[in-house]
Structure 1
Amino acid sequence: MSAIRSARTVATVLGVGALGLGLLTACSDSSDDASPATSESQVSTTSEEAQDPPAMQECSREAPTGPLAVPTTSTEYTSGEAAYSVTLSDGTERCVVVESDSSGGDFDSTDKEIDIRFGDTSAGLLITIDGEKEGNLPTEVPQRVGDAFMGMQVDGNYFADSMHSGCEVTLTGLDDEMIAGEFTCTDVTLFEDGPFSLGSESTTTPLPEDTTITDAKGWFVLRA
């Protein structure tokens, strides 16, 4: 009887040991399966966080390109779209997106002037190109304009290149259906008021008077 009980005891111990080993193996397999899932989730989250916000993506776009055929009659462009990144002298960085489906600008066939103006006090773009000045109307695209006036609205504040020396404008398309181009600016001055504030009831906190745009880069397109 002692030998039988001893054999049963050994069998029981072996059975419990096998069960424990099975549970340990199952836990190990479950742990191995969980690790890749956690890692994949972390990679996905990191990738989403690394993407630029939609506004920044607009500012990084290239200027649209189009044909060159200087209009022979005065033309009104009824919509406008632009985006420009700016760095202010206080270190503030902004991506400004401007869209209008009611106005964009016009081309005057009499004095050959391109007048681009759309937006409001929060975000607006103003470019004037006198086509009667030599080198201002393109003979090919892209072509840098010889002389242009530029104004930009940034968070309710108006900055303008009043001396025509801080901004470079390049036209990438011009005909009676579209005007497109790009620009870069440095050291653009802050003004107390601008054309977009005329008739506007919105109020904003003015920046210090010595604030300037130290760097700006953007693109624009108008469509008839």
Structure 2
Amino acid sequence: MYLKLRIRREDREKGVRYETYHVKYEEGMTFLEALQRIKEEQDPTLTFRHFCRAGICGTCTIYINGYPKLACKEQVLPYVITQREVIVEPLKNFRVIKDLAVDIDPAIRKLRDIGAWIEERKEEPRIEQERSRKIEEASDCILCFACQSYCPQTLEERYAGPLFFAKIFRFLMDPRDRKPQLRLKQAVEEGYLYHCLSCNKCNNVCPKEVQPATLIRELMIYNTEA
């Protein structure tokens, strides 16, 4: 069996085009392994990102048939069986550097600007079990940017996007953080929290089931009660 990949290519010299590759299927093959096979055996100029190969770092996120997936975790077999051709593209709503590699630096800078780390209190507060569970769930984000890319509202430049609200929620829940009111202000006034469309698309594509849309709705409730 062979996997037929139609990959979106982009560089300064040739611009944007789609190129087709055939990869012989091997048991347990992932899309990352298929891309590596293309680079090693067919086209060394193909550019994509990867690192941990274990679904932990979020580096290898690409679009597969219109949906953001972790290339290192997405199995090839179902596509080989059901699809004549699979379209592979880079993350949307990000500037393409080359081929499947996009520029995530603006998003990283925005995380730095909101202070995506705990500003610790002097005292050591007790964390209740239910609150600890919420912190843990929101902390599962691996910065794969799948939700950020798939969210239709991020086309509005002012809207921070589901990734950032998930991070803000994580710090708002943590009693060790001494700036809960600042977190709500960041969400509402700087991130335009209420511009969320509540379409749940970010929930549907998160590989770690963080459920950013659900956290956004909880942020709205906390802001109402504050």
Settle same-fold status: TM greater than 0.5: no
Using the size of structure 2 for normalisation, the TM-score is 0.23
- Higher helix content, 1 or 2: 2
Give 1 or 2: higher strand fraction.
Answer: 1
